[in-house]
A = this chain, B = another copy of it.
């Protein structure tokens, strides 16, 4: 059982940031497992992810007499208290999370179940470190699958006339289940800016992405008509602007003139499953920082 803390930081770049953060962790006896930084030189921004052990048993061994080692568990609350003024001084945005607190995830889907089935299987197999207390769909197809994995599903139909009401119901469900992350697993409705604003950098979507990009209702038909040699899929955070949020992951598959539209669609499904599941895993492992309209993915 993993028992770690993760600290994610972004702030204006300046000298000494690594020294001061790592110095405080050292002082508190943190046993660092992973640390990574990134500097965006154009924007003058600094990003950092540190993960350390919360119990003293595992990890590296302090050598005798050299370090302020401790055999007691790491005191996360005390660190939080000590870090707060430092972060304020340095103008940091930061998140401090413990693996003991598992994120609570809701899955939204419509009639296509391939992403849903993939995520649920990965979750059951232990690949996704979260709780999934809720599935929401505007269709009925998901119900058997939800039942098989023991996840309650809520049917919330959506029409243009009932959209506002439906979103209100969805938001109530999310609030009641204390959801941290919403995954749009081929959910075919557009969420309103008001909905999206409730979950900043906490709604992940997947869509096709082509070379060159196609928009419109039937992208695979357009791609086939254009004769592209590659098709792709993109996972991203949802923002108020449709399909234009910070990109988390992309992948492509090679196709040829022999592939019909239905082959493109099938390949697209495989790509969608892969790029969505990777994005979800990285989010749950707190590997992603958003800034502007981009992401840093600490791998």
- A interface SS class: mixed
Interface stretch (choices A76-84, A153-161, A176-184, A290-298): A290-298
Q: Assuming A212-B213, A252-B252, A294-B257, is B274 touching A247 (CB within 8 A)?
A: no
Taking Cβ atoms with an 8 Å cutoff, the residues of A that contact B are 13-16, 18-20, 22-23, 25-26, 29-41, 44, 46, 59-63, 66-69, 113-114, 117-118, 121, 125, 127, 144, 148, 209-213, 225-230, 232, 234, 246-252, 254, 256-258, 260, 266, 270, 274, 292-297, 299
| Cα separation A18 to B33 with both chains bound (whole Å) | 12
Of B29, B230, B246, B270, which contacts A232 at CB under 8 A?
B230
Q: Pick 27 A–B contacts, CB within 8 A, sort by A.
A: A14-B62, A14-B66, A15-B29, A15-B60, A15-B62, A15-B67, A16-B22, A18-B22, A18-B26, A18-B32, A23-B23, A34-B39, A38-B257, A39-B60, A41-B260, A44-B60, A44-B61, A46-B60, A113-B121, A113-B125, A114-B125, A127-B266, A211-B234, A225-B294, A229-B248, A257-B297, A258-B299
Of B14, B30, B258, which contacts A61 at CB under 8 A?
B14
| Cα separation A250 to B61 with both chains bound (whole Å) | 34
Q: Assuming A114-B125, A209-B211, A294-B226, is B247 touching A63 (CB within 8 A)?
A: no
| Cα separation A293 to B23 with both chains bound (whole Å) | 32
| Cα separation A299 to B117 with both chains bound (whole Å) | 27
Q: Assuming A67-B16, A234-B211, is B226 touching A250 (CB within 8 A)?
A: no
B266 and A247 contacting across the interface, CB-CB below 8 Å? no
- Pairs A-B, 7 closest by C-beta atoms: A227-B294, A212-B213, A19-B26, A19-B22, A16-B26, A18-B22, A13-B60
Given contacts A14-B66, A34-B39, 8 further A-B contacts (CB under 8 A): A14-B61, A16-B67, A33-B39, A113-B125, A127-B266, A144-B148, A211-B211, A230-B232
A258 and B38 contacting across the interface, CB-CB below 8 Å? yes
| Chain B residues, Cβ within 8 Å of A258 | 38, 299
| Cα separation A252 to B230 with both chains bound (whole Å) | 9
By beta carbon, the residue of chain B nearest A27 is B19
Of B213, B228, B266, which contacts A250 at CB under 8 A?
B228
By beta carbon, the residue of chain B nearest A281 is B266
| Cα separation A257 to B34 with both chains bound (whole Å) | 12
| Cα separation A111 to B101 with both chains bound (whole Å) | 29
A257 and B295 contacting across the interface, CB-CB below 8 Å? yes
A18 and B15 contacting across the interface, CB-CB below 8 Å? no
| Chain B residues, Cβ within 8 Å of A69 | 15
| Cα separation A279 to B211 with both chains bound (whole Å) | 17
